Amino acid sequence: MTDLRRSANIAHIKTTLEIYMSRLAEFRKLEQQLAAQLAELETLKNDTGLKKEIEFETKLRGLLGEYGFSLREIVGILDPQAASGRKSAPVTAEKKTRKAREMKVYKNPLTGEVVETKGGNHKLLKAWKGQFGEEVENWLVK
């Protein structure tokens, strides 16, 4: 019985030791993570750009309090379109207007039919070009 008790005690001690070791490992891991975060924090504290941003925010919040404005009101003053929830229209170059197409008048010498068009997409003109080919360009009156 004593051997059985010893085995049980040893197993219990091993289990307890494993629990403490895993907690110790977790503690050391968290300690390392904390040290890394503290080092990163120190780096940020020495960053001149961050210092300027903090100073700007402090002064801005002071002015907001002094004049009784909220951030939303300031955004509305500086960018009314953003404040209303609409996206601002992108800045585009001036639209170039195309020159209006000239009216072309074709007269079929065989039938006397006349076609007036500003483009080459006229149904009858296409039919003529399909039947007579490039000769239709010679029928241009105006």
Residue 120 lies in a domain: yes
Q: d(Cα 103, Cα 3) in Å, to the nearest integer? A: 114
Tokens (6 digits) for 69:
């404005």
> Quick one: 8 and 41 in the same domain?
yes
129-137 mean pLDDT: 90
Q: Is residue 134 part of a domain?
A: yes
Residue 94, domain member (yes or no): no
- Looking at the structure of the chain, the number of domains it has is 3
**Tens-digit pLDDT profile for residues 10-19:** 888 888 878 7
Please indicate, yes or no, whether the overall pTM of this predicted structure exceeds 0.75.
Answer: no
Q: What is d(CA 91, CA 24) in angstroms, rounded to the nearest whole number?
A: 60
**Structural domain boundaries enclosing 78:** 54-87
Give yes or no: residues 2 and 29 share one domain: yes
Q: What is the pLDDT of residues 96-126, one digit of tens each?
A: 888 888 889 989 999 999 999 987 788 888 8
Q: Looking at the structure, tell me whether residues 40 and 8 fall in a common domain.
A: yes
Among 89, 62, 90, 85, which residue's Cα sits nearest to residue 75?
A: 85
Give just the sign of the alpha carbon dihedral 125, 127, 129, 132: negative
